[in-house]
């Protein structure tokens, strides 16, 4: 496979969440720059299928003789295989979170797989999320060039939604009462230093374990950023960001004119990270920040990324949000419930054969702090597991609409809630696919991914 | 109002598989049965005085996180925990927490890690994780004898002559995938591989643990079969049990 890919640039994207969003944004950026792109957005679950698919696409690319960039979203389980075979120019690692633990058993096992994959592709330039300590620690002892993206500022504690007010220092917290647990502290990934095991301290926290951390015992700390993301105003229509290109001043760390403010139409702070990853990668391809931002401004929410599902003018608008792990659900919940147009919440989880069978993670979602006292609709294969979880978090039976069938759930919600505004529908990946199949006509394989 | 106190051991290290749900469940059900319920987190370096508590919980984590708490557990808190178990304190330990209650754990490299030796078990790490629904039948004095969890472990736990299993495996692997046993109990210490979370899916087991703690403290436990406490449990259990045709006759 290596010789097939050796004459063109290639990017591998891996991590537990955000891979397809980063791939999608990168693809848009390169296409806008009139660079031919081959991507594996039609993902299937076998190596063979993917390899064959790429081969066929590659032949098409040869015929066109255009400059081509391969953008490959690689499942964590397959990363070693593809990193070794392709020897990509760039590898992006987004994050590690408790997602599909039934497949990987442990987060650290997953991290070891990625670490080994990076070793097997020693010449690749590596792009890492600086704010995730598990990801940033991958740079240790790495001979290849590493580049970092992350938050340049963190929301002020007294003026931001509750989710952002968490303090990571255990000593500052009440010592008893479960409800007093500050969000994310005890259930966030990797609270301890990857090298010495000491509890990390944070100077600022975006959400979960994403922030500006340092180990009080050893030298490990968040690396300097090459692409800084500053989140400003945010609402249901998107987020105002400032993206700062630090690459130009890597040595001096002087802030210069190379920063741009823009509106990104996909809400969710985690999508700010995804846009940051794609932007840093594009900068390393020598595209200009101005051109990249111009493309980012034009990207619309789609494929379950705060996507407004098609509807008639007379129908209630529904915004579909994919969230498949506790961090993503917590973050999404607290963002959407501060949106002015929030009218109702639906949560659907489905399984698909072979994985997403374990619902343990539902108990790590912090529903106890959900700032919402209205009706909640729950649906999908795990409707009653969700209902049980919500019941124990304090949502009474009378406040729940339980309907495994997504369409019926939506109808019942529409009949029950009068308040104007959008329904927000949180779905894990299999449920996202089922819901989009119902609501989005002519769903292509690519969109369904 | 009478109060129950629970010590939650190493919550910042052993928390990977939703075991927090057990604390949520115990707390809610204690309150529903008219008890105050206080949870105290106890981690590395924290003072641990078991006599202050009525229940203890220790969950499962990643191997590396278990290594981080190991010295503190074995060299600091272990002896006091042992004494408390002998004195009859009620404890639930899951997965990694369960393994550390045994004599020893042998990891993949053959390295032997000493356990607390409270339970007559030993655990040996073997290739391939045991992952999936875990359904087992218990002889404990609870109404619904079918317990449901989700297992995800690399270690195989083997029982010594004194070890009493909590139940017999109907679906899944349980302790070791060989002898159909699942979990072990000794006095009021219960160890199991059931994540899921375990207690919300098995409210009879949750009430059983609470009742043991209440009676040990000299309070009165009032049975209350109020169905409002068990909302959604039956359909959530049914979803799992109906996946397995051989279980179709079992009580949900």
Question: Would you say residue B252 has pLDDT above 90?
Answer: no
Residues 6+ apart with CB under 8 A from A60: A38
The Cα B220–Cα B223 span in angstroms is: 10
**A 239-278: CB under 8 A from B:** none
Listed by start position, the domains of chain A span: 2-158+186-298, 305-448
Task: Write down the pLDDT at residue A159.
Answer: 37
CA dihedral B189, B191, B194, B195 (to 10 degrees): 70
User: No. of H helices and E strands in chain A?
Assistant: 14, 17
The Cα B45–Cα B13 span in angstroms is: 13
Q: Checking DSSP bridges between strand A9-14 and strand A36-39, what pairing results, if any?
A: unpaired
Q: What is the DSSP letter of A225?
A: P
Residue with tokens 């629904």: B133
**B85 and B186 in contact (C-beta within 8 Å)?**
yes
Tell me how long chain A is.
449
**B210 and B30 in contact (C-beta within 8 Å)?**
yes
Report the share of chain A in percent with pLDDT over 70.
80
Q: Omega before B197 cis (within 30°)?
A: yes
Q: Is B103 among the residues known to form the active site?
A: no
Q: Which residue of A has its CA nearest to B232?
A: A388
Substitution target in B10, B11, B18 with the highest count of A β-carbons within 10 Å is B18
Using a CB-CB cut-off of 8 Å, the residues of chain A touching B65 are 192
The Cα B224–Cα B209 span in angstroms is: 15
The Cα B193–Cα B97 span in angstroms is: 9
Which of A105, A191, A397 is the closest to B152 by Cβ? A105
CA distance B222 to chain A (A): 21
Task: Write down the pLDDT at residue A45.
Answer: 38
Question: Would you say residue A260 has pLDDT above 90?
Answer: yes
Using a CB-CB cut-off of 8 Å, the residues of chain A touching B232 are 384, 387-388, 391, 397, 402
Question: In this predicted model, which residue has the larger pLDDT, A43 or A369?
Answer: A369
**A20 and A449 in contact (C-beta within 8 Å)?**
yes
Q: What is the DSSP letter of A82?
A: H
Q: Per residue in B170-213, pLDDT tens?
A: 999 999 999 999 999 999 999 999 998 999 999 999 999 999 99
Mean pLDDT of chain B: 92
Helix (H, G, I), strand (E, B) or coil at B155: strand
**A272 and A231 in contact (C-beta within 8 Å)?**
yes
Task: Write down the pLDDT at residue A6.
Answer: 53
Mean pLDDT of chain A: 82
Residue with tokens 């840093």: A280
Listed by start position, the domains of chain B span: 3-220+228-247
Identify which of B118, B179, B176 has the alpha carbon closest to the alpha carbon of residue B151.
B176
Task: Write down the pLDDT at residue A256.
Answer: 65
Task: Write down the pLDDT at residue B189.
Answer: 98
Task: Write down the pLDDT at residue A41.
Answer: 64
Neighbours of B201 (CB within 10 A): 23
**A93 and A138 in contact (C-beta within 8 Å)?**
yes
CA distance B172 to chain A (A): 13
Q: How confident is the model at residue A54 (pLDDT cuts 50, 70, 90)?
A: low
Q: Does domain A305-448 have CATH number 3.40.50.720?
A: no
- Token pair belonging to A42: 């039609």
Q: Per residue in B33-47, pLDDT tens?
A: 999 999 888 988 999
Question: Would you say residue A96 has pLDDT above 50?
Answer: yes
**A389 contacts B12? CB cut-off 8 A:** no
Q: Per residue in A384-419, pLDDT tens?
A: 999 999 999 989 999 999 999 999 999 999 999 999
A2-158+186-298 has which CATH code? 3.40.1190.10
**A204 and A211 in contact (C-beta within 8 Å)?**
yes
The Cα A18–Cα A320 span in angstroms is: 16
Identify which of A324, A291, A314, A152 has the alpha carbon closest to the alpha carbon of residue A226.
A152
Using a CB-CB cut-off of 8 Å, the residues of chain B touching A382 are 239
Task: Write down the pLDDT at residue A95.
Answer: 92
Which of A108, A187, A192 is the closest to B20 by Cβ? A187
Question: Would you say residue A253 has pLDDT above 80?
Answer: no
**B40 contacts A392? CB cut-off 8 A:** no
Question: In this predicted model, which residue has the larger pLDDT, A225 or A191?
Answer: A225
Q: Which residue of B has its CA nearest to A195?
A: B64
pTM of the model: 0.88
Considering the four listed CATH numbers 3.40.1280.30, 3.50.50.60, 3.10.20.740, 3.40.50.880, the one that applies to the domain covering B3-220+228-247 is 3.40.50.880
Of the given ranges (A278-292, A347-361, B238-252), which has the lowest mean pLDDT?
Answer: B238-252
Section B76-99 average pLDDT: 97
Q: Per residue in B119-170, pLDDT tens?
A: 999 999 999 889 999 999 999 999 999 999 999 999 999 999 999 999 999 9
Q: Per residue in A161-203, pLDDT tens?
A: 333 333 333 333 333 334 444 434 445 677 889 899 888 888 8
Which of A106, A187, A192 is the closest to B63 by Cβ? A106
- Token pair belonging to B65: 């996180």
Question: In this predicted model, which residue has the larger pLDDT, B161 or A302?
Answer: B161
């Amino acid at each position: 496979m290596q010789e097939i890919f050796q004459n063109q640039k290639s990017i591998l994207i891996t991590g537990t969440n955000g891979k397809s969003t980063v791939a999608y944004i990168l693809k848009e950026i390169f296409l806008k720059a009139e660079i031919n792109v081959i991507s594996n957005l039609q993902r299937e679950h076998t190596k063979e299928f993917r390899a064959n698919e790429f081969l066929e696409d590659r032949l098409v690319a040869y015929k066109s003789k255009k400059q081509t960039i391969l953008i490959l979203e690689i499942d964590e389980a397959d990363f070693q295989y593809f990193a070794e075979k392709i020897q990509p120019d760039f590898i992006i690692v987004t994050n590690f979170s408790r997602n599909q633990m039934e497949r990987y058993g442990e987060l650290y096992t997953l991290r070891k797989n990625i670490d080994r994959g990076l070793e097997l592709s020693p010449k690749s330039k590596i792009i890492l999320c600086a704010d995730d300590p598990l990801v940033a620690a991958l740079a240790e002892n790495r001979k290849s060039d590493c580049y970092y993206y992350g938050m340049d500022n963190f929301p002020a504690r007294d003026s931001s939604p509750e989710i952002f007010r968490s303090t990571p220092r255990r000593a500052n917290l009440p010592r008893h009462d479960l409800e007093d647990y500050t969000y994310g502290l005890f259930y966030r990934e990797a609270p301890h230093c990857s090298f010495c095991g000491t509890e990390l301290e944070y100077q600022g926290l975006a959400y979960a374990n994403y922030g500006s951390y340092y180990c009080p015992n050893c030298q490990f700390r968040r690396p300097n950023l090459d692409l800084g993301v500053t989140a400003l105003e945010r609402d249901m229509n998107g987020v105002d960001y400032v993206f700062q290109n630090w690459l130009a001043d890597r040595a001096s760390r002087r802030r210069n004119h190379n920063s741009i403010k823009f509106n990104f139409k996909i809400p969710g702070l985690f999508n700010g990270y995804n846009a940051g990853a794609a932007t840093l990668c594009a900068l390393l391809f020598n595209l200009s920040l101005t051109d990249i931002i111009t493309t980012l401004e034009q990207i619309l929410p789609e494929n379950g990324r705060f996507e407004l599902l098609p509807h008639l003018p007379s129908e209630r608008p529904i915004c579909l949000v994919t969230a498949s792990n506790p961090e993503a659900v917590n973050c999404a919940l607290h963002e959407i419930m501060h949106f002015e147009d929030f009218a109702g919440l639906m949560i659907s989880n489905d399984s698909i054969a072979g994985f997403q069978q374990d619902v343990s993670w539902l108990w790590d979602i912090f529903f106890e702090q959900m700032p919402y006292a209205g009706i909640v609709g729950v649906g999908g294969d795990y409707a009653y597991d969700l209902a049980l979880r919500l019941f124990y978090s304090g949502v009474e039976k009378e406040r729940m609409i339980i309907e495994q069938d997504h369409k019926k759930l939506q109808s019942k919600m529409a009949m029950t809630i009068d308040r104007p505004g959008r329904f927000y529908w949180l779905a894990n990946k299999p449920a996202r696919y089922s819901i989009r199949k119902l609501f989005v006509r002519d769903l292509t394989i690519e969109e369904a991914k | 109002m009478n109060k129950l106190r629970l010590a939650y051991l190493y919550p910042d290290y052993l928390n990977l598989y939703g075991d927090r749900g057990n604390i949520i469940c115990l707390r809610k059900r204690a309150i529903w049965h008219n008890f105050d319920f206080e949870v105290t987190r106890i981690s590395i370096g924290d003072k641990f005085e078991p006599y202050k508590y009525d229940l203890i919980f220790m969950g499962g984590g990643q191997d590396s996180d278990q290594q981080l708490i190991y010295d503190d557990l074995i060299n600091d808190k272990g002896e006091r925990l042992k004494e408390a178990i002998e004195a009859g304190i009620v404890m639930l330990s899951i997965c990694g927490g369960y393994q550390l209650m045994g004599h020893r754990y042998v990891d993949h490299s053959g390295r032997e890690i000493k356990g607390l030796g409270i339970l007559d078990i030993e655990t040996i790490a073997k290739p391939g994780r045991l992952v999936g629904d875990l359904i087992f039948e218990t002889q404990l004095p609870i109404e619904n004898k079918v317990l449901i969890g989700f297992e995800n472990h690399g270690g195989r736990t083997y029982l010594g002559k004194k070890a009493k299993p909590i139940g017999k495996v109907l679906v899944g692997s349980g302790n070791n995938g060989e002898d159909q046993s699942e979990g072990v109990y000794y006095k009021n210490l219960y160890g199991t591989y059931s994540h899921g979370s375990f207690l919300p899916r098995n409210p009879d087991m949750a009430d059983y643990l609470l009742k043991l703690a209440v009676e040990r403290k000299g309070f009165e436990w009032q049975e209350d079969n109020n169905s409002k406490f068990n909302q959604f449990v039956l359909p959530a259990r049914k979803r799992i049990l109906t996946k397995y045709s051989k279980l179709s006759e079992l009580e949900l």
